[in-house]
């Protein structure tokens, strides 16, 4: 089966599937400079924590390739500059910083500019390949938790588009479907940027998985009506105690799932786990532009002068999470202990 890939390395550029245009248009951006990658991240052409990690490592590799003709010191400075630039794009996804740390460590051992370029390209491709394999493992571990005939509710897009391919939460859904389980998916539209309605629904329709889009505000009613058997979502950063940051609205879903006795799973690779942070209160939460809330598809929906607050993520406390499905296995409670064990 041919898989969806949101970002691809070419010898002298990076091709990025422009997610702002989906589902209407399948168009690609060409990034030749780290700045092009930074712009694609800020504009949400590429998004989703693991995909941001891949984009970050490709940006560092581009900087090294573009500096091939320079001496090692200047080539390294080019890479450092790219790393600083990408670090400043979006603050919440741990994978972005994790990937940049890998690239930085790799750059330290090069002996000339050519070797620097070759080793950073190799490392960036490894980040991508490893993420794809991680998603498949998450899918395999998670599919076992999905009962035959289940209806799964998901939020935002934690699919192939948000990763190197296959997806985390959607990886679980894909694997359950491919294993022949007769599942269906309720997709939260995910205001303000509609990643659920635009991206998750597009991926599911493309794969022939039965999917129904609901307004975010319909989730509670659907749970109360017995229409949801489990919730699976992704994560942008998971603290040492298991608190998990994900797209705004995830916390509300976890509270609702708890109220209705519905299992609530987080699916994420270990590269999303940040053991340096004790709890969710330490996770940096991105606040995005007011226009994302005050307009829909370019049309203003709030009156001039209305104040807007647009946090892009929220934190679900570990006590509301049934289990965390990782690429190394399923973490049960106490989450702090099982995360530490899998990380070691």
**x/- map, 62-101, ligand MRU, by CB under 6 A:** -------------------------------x--------
Pairing of strands 313-316, 244-247: antiparallel
Residue 247 interacting with ligand MRU (CB under 6 A):
yes
For 148, counting Cβ atoms within 10 Å of its Cβ (0-12 exposed, 13-18 middle, 19+ buried), the class is: exposed
Q: Which range touches ligand MRU (CB under 6 A), out of 43-51, 96-104, 180-188, 298-306?
A: 43-51
Neighbours of 51 (CB within 10 A): 31
Q: Which of 22, 29, 158, 238 binds ligand MRU (CB under 6 A)?
A: 158
DSSP conformational letter for 242: S
CB of 235 to ligand MRU, least distance (A): 6
Quote the CA–CA distance of 279 and 299 in Å, as a whole number.
39
CA dihedral 93, 97, 102, 108 (to 10 degrees): 170
Q: Which of 236, 274, 314, 327 binds ligand MRU (CB under 6 A)?
A: 236
Judged by DSSP in three states, 221 sits in: helix
Quote the CA–CA distance of 316 and 10 in Å, as a whole number.
38
Residue 246 interacting with ligand MRU (CB under 6 A):
yes
Neighbours of 112 (CB within 10 A): 12
Q: Which is nearer to ligand MRU, 62 or 162 (CB)?
A: 162
Closest-by-Cβ residue to ligand MRU is 234
Size of the site for ligand MRU (CB under 6 A): 18
How many residues are present in the chain?
A: 344
Q: Which of residues 248-307 bind ligand MRU (CB under 6 A)?
A: none
| Residues with a known catalytic role | 236
Residue 234 interacting with ligand MRU (CB under 6 A):
yes
Q: Which of 57, 134, 175, 195 binds ligand MRU (CB under 6 A)?
A: 195
Quote the CA–CA distance of 96 and 226 in Å, as a whole number.
38
Q: Which is nearer to ligand MRU, 78 or 168 (CB)?
A: 168
Quote the CA–CA distance of 301 and 17 in Å, as a whole number.
28
The footprint of ligand MRU (CB under 6 A) covers 47-50, 93, 156, 158, 162-163, 168, 195, 233-236, 246-247, 312
């Amino acid at each position: 089966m041919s898989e969806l890939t949101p970002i691809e390395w070419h010898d002298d550029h990076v091709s990025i599937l422009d997610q702002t245009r989906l589902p209407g248009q399948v168009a690609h951006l060409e990034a030749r400079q780290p700045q092009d990658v930074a712009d694609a991240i800020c504009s949400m052409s590429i998004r989703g924590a693991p995909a941001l990690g891949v984009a970050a490592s490709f940006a560092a590799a581009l900087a090294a390739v573009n500096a091939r003709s320079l001496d090692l010191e200047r080539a390294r400075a080019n890479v450092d500059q790219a790393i600083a630039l990408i670090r400043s794009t979006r603050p919440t996804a741990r994978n972005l910083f994790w990937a940049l740390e890998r690239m930085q460590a790799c750059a330290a051992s090069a002996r000339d500019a050519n070797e620097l370029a070759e080793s950073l390209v190799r490392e960036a491709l490894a980040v991508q390949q490893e993420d794809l394999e991680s998603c498949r493992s998450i899918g395999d571990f998670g599919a076992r938790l999905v009962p035959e005939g289940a209806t799964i509710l998901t939020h935002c897009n934690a699919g192939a588009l948000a990763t190197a391919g296959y997806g985390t939460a959607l990886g679980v859904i894909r694997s359950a479907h491919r294993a022949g389980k007769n599942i269906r998916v309720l997709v939260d539209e995910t205001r303000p940027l509609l990643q659920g309605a635009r991206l998750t629904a597009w991926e599911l329709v493309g794969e022939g998985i039965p999917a129904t889009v609901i307004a975010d505000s319909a989730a509670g009613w659907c749970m109360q009506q017995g229409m949801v058997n489990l919730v699976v979502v992704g994560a942008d950063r998971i603290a040492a105690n298991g608190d998990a940051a994900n797209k705004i609205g995830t916390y509300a879903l976890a509270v609702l799932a708890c109220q209705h006795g519905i299992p609530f799973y987080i699916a994420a690779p270990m590269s999303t786990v940040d053991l340096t942070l004790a709890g969710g209160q330490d996770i940096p939460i991105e606040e995005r532009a007011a226009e994302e809330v005050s307009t829909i598809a370019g049309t203003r929906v709030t009156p001039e002068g209305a104040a807007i607050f647009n946090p892009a993520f929220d934190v679900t406390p570990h006590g509301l999470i049934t289990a965390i499905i990782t690429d190394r296995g399923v973490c049960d409670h106490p989450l702090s202990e099982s995360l530490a064990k899998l990380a070691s």
